[in-house]
Structure 1
Amino acid sequence: MVSLGDRQIHLIQYLLLKDEYVTIADLASRFDVSARTIRYDLSSIKTYLKLNDIEMNTVPRHGVRIKAAQKQKIAILAKLEGARSVSASDCVPAMAAFLLVQENSTYASLAEACRISRQSVVKAFPDVERLLAGHRIVVHKERGRGLSVEGCEVAVRDAFSAVLDEDPLAVELIAVLPFRSQADREKAHAILQSVETALSLSYFESELVELLIAFCLYRARCGHMLGQGALPEHLRSIGELPDYARYAKALSPFALEPIERTYLIWLLMNGKVRYPDDGTANEGDARGIALFLMEKLEALHPIEDDERQRFLSGLSTHLGVALYRLRNRVPITCEILDEIRIGIPLIYEYTRQQLLLCEKDYGVTFDENEVAFIAMYVASAYETSVRVTSAVRVMIVCPFGMTAGTILFSRIRQMVPDCELVGPFSRKEAKSYLENGDVDLIISTADECYDGYPVLRVSPLLHKDDAELIRSQLYQISYAKMCSSFMRGYCMLVERNRGKTYLHELMDIGDMRILDAVPSWKEAIRIAAEPLIRKGKLESRYVGCMTDAVIELGTYMVLLPETAFVHAGTEDGIHEDCSALLVLRNPVVFGDRGAKLVRTIVVLGVKNREKTILLDLVDIFSKDANRRVLAQDFVTKEIIANLHN
């Protein structure tokens, strides 16, 4: 029997709907995993399909394709649909989209649409309400009428667009709902074709764009019209954009209210498009910037050929759209901006630094939203390259018998295919292996202690709680390895191009503090920020924003061993660029989720977009010798001020 995970099920469903070959690189990009993971998934899928008398063909340089008759495809799709394991939290965006489409809903109708229990819907519903509240939409619950939403019409449409753009499960759910009339479908398709023909472009996700257009037509048909006074500034001024007239001309054959036409133009301008390869400025410039970023990325770590091509192709396409937006003053909002800045701060800052170098040559200014989207591409390429060369190595120890150890080994390998597993070992074999080998984590079915190695105890059958604990621990180890690798490359690059940088050049000695201990990590952040608040460089609310970021996003700010670089957003109360430091003689447990021991807390407030203070500070604190100095009882502010890279 072959057991499939959710991603493998989605892979089969995707391939069954494709008649042509799909490359490994395209699958890796679509499912946001490495090519290595896709190959592992396809190996399991091939075995599963063979057991169901279905063949999967693999052709070098062309990719993979499932060869099956239509009756076989229908049968296997039905079988897989019954096997899908979707949690209530996975369905939150889909439930939000469902509420936006249906005039009235119930918990039962949401449960039926998402194929989960009514109890699961009720439990997850506060998350649905929070998601919609972020788009200025209120959910009403009325006895006898069920669930309904209320918000200005532009907020409803913007929310629908944002949810579907971010969540494939929501698209899958909404696409089968009968809210669109045949006339809506045909008109949406005709509008899209007219725009693509008139402007000589094509949309990457044409089915999604058609769905968004049809939703707007449906809303207008139901009497939910846009009001001129309710439109935000970026819609009121859209007529000033250079390409507005061309879009308007493409939409002129269709009977639309002027305000509805304006909204559709804005929607179409924000879609991801590809232009014909005719040497246009955006295409050439996008390729040039992508090559520049690839060169800068490879200065830190080599990138494999497959990943290089995937990176250049995906990023060039995105940059073509981004340059079009920037040059036509079409604004965009990254809904996860703070998560990106805090979750991948080193790569976000490095990407921002490199894009600053491009701005003068290409005549554009990349705002933080555009930087965030581009940073995700850079992070994906970098993390994939690091995983290939420095995969997390995990030892499996099972003292009570090899049968249980073999089951545990198999389940962990399926759960985390990117990890390098060794074992299963007995206690004696494990100690023998560690005499000459090394691992990042030990997973054992009994209480074990191995000096210098983290150990997780789990059930041989790997219960749900065990799996979540393993994933959390492996993610933290992988993230720490990536940060370490990034800083090694960055430090070498900096040292080749410039001399020493001392800490006192980046931070006032009066903003450094040394204490024996603090009662909590929250208090540590408050004390570290105190000098900057006293000087008026930060507002007191900035402390709350930093604390909230750690609570909501975890301990991503612990970029180095025992060292946290804490910050919030540029609009959270920063008056000028600043930094401060708190060193603890006794480390504090930092964070509520994935807590880590931290001795050094660096508070940052960055207002000037051209400053690189985070990278400069991490450069200094990444040195093992400097961190050893900070751990000494005799350390003083004067000694700290003279630490350098």
Structure 2
Amino acid sequence: MKKTLKCILDSSTIEKMFQKLITCLSSNSKKVLMALISRDDPVSAQHLADSLGLSISQVRYSIKKIQACLIFNGTDIQLKPNEGIQIILDKETKSELLDLIQNNSQDITILNQEERVRLLLQIILASRKDLPQSEIRAITGISYTSFYRDFEKVRSWLNSFSLTLTAKRNAPVCVLGDELKIREAIQAILLQNLGQDYVIQACVLAVEDIDFNDIERSVFYFQAQDIIRDLNLPHCEQTVRNLEVQYHSPLFDQAHVELTVYLGIMAYRIKLGKYISKTAVDNIKECNTEVDIVANILKDFGIDADDPALAAEKEYLNYLIAQCFLYGTNEQQHPHPQNDESRKFDDLAKTIVKEIAKYLHAGLYEDEELIQCIIWELTYASKGKQTRGDIYDSSEKELKPANNTEQILRKILFPILNEARIQHINQIISAISNHTLAALEKVRSSSCQRRVLLVCGAGVATAFSLRSQLNTLIPEIDVVEMVSVFDLVHNDGLVDGCDAIISTLPLGNITEVPQIHVNAMLSKEDVSNIRKSLGIGTHFQDFSTSFQVNRPINLQEVVNIHTIKTHQTAENPADVIDQVGRLLLDIDAIWPSYIKAMQNLYKLYGPYMVIAPNTALLHAGPEMGSKKLAISLITLDTPVQFGHALYDPVNIAMAFSSPVNSVHTNILSDVFNFFAIPQNRINVLHAKDPADVMTLLSNIEVVEAVGNTAG
């Protein structure tokens, strides 16, 4: 079919036919097409149906229509048994296709009546000036009959806010009523039309940086760009952040968003000369918000806070802020509240865990649960018979170690506890041994553990409930922290070392870390999606079954030109580790947590990775986040001190990833042999570009190794 068309028609005609067919797709088919081209992996028809709110039959019908369109573009839908549906396109073609669908979706004629009414409300309420009916109709392109019928629906919606609409022929359309009610109506229609995910992004990003793929709302996005710019929501959101600092209390995401949007609408309306009347605040009770706070907010928006006409504005803003911080705060209860007595053991417990990790398993490094358990033991041991006399006897008994772990811990920890003048050392070490064994079992049983950040905007109770469900249903993940969406925006460090973000809110372009959107109640489909997205319960869980003896391979096949960078700069070892790690991350050879693991191993063991003069080979265990066999390499113009007595400073750094231990021996010996030769190191360091490095590495002898046959 494709060949026949190309023989009969020229390429430009085929392209025009393709564009016409795409624009003629139904809204359901466009939704399915956008969902498919937005993914890089196969997806089941059932998942598409559930996520798009369609039936299975609607999805299958849409796929047939899409297949008929894509054939004109030389593309087809891949239907993979037991995997799902996938459209394979390059990034440029994907972008062009998305633009084509979204631009067509701004056609107002495809809206139903309810959507047209919402659009009319958005235009009427959010325009900088009152517009006549003729101009509004020209903007929307709605027919005369539909336009006047829709206007009655507009009146009805406004009446629910106790507002009236005046619409005389050739006169501007006006909304009359209390100014506070008008602001509530503006806020309501913007949130309804744009959606919370768009508004959250608008609170922290410029309009042109906001990501939206919902074709059903494209026309609302397009018409709302001017008002969103006028509201200057990023500035308003920073004001709310400042209030949270002043009140020492973070707000729920919903309260945070609503207060942000109100501040934007307030400043926008005041600058248009629209003020709250005194009668609107007559029944408001006096609040304790400091007068200076309200005045400073108004001044920050370029508004004269001393203007007598703004007395009611200040009174209402005072009331609103007080209500937000009375009922909308997000004060998290820490699972391990500490008093002054337990706090003094923090540093000691962290030192103990660091030593345990160094000798038993690096995965225990910074294990917060183990740290808290040891703090608890040290705290109660210090009280002796008063609280735990049955365990911590006042007399020092010579207890025999119960197991090998306890025997090792006695040698490691006795000097540390003795120097800290801790009593009942043997009993404490016995208790620490039990906690350590439990922690080791958790680490070893979760060899494929993924680090995730949990973003939940529904409040503390829901967030803890969701975390509990995740811990119960997917023990292979480690929820490193629960944060609000605005904590995430303003603290880039929160995602360091995280493999993904699990969020109850769509986050758009707020972060580049992979996002997994779930329902706060965590459905079966959510659990399945999390497992699939993080590679849990797949071939990653049993590396040995994915690898088999295949053929001799050399280092050149493990390194590729995309994992090499020359003449880089780095400030310190952590920066070097981050740079070589990200090269592996870019080719999907590791999870982000692998970089964190390499950082922790350096902190634990020091410069063990400096293998030759000026050369470092960084790596972590397969269970710490390795996906596939790969090596990255950078050269540094200015060498970095790693702390090695003989081989410092480092100006050649590599990172190595292997999902099975056996590959370590084979490939690493190859690397050691090559970089043990001084001339090889000089040649690599002086290489002009990655291609030169590849040429040098091609001279390494072939070694017997194992090849990845799973992928």
Q: TM-score range by the shorter chain?
A: 0.3 to 0.5
Which structure has the bigger radius of gyration? 2
TM norm structure 1: 0.35
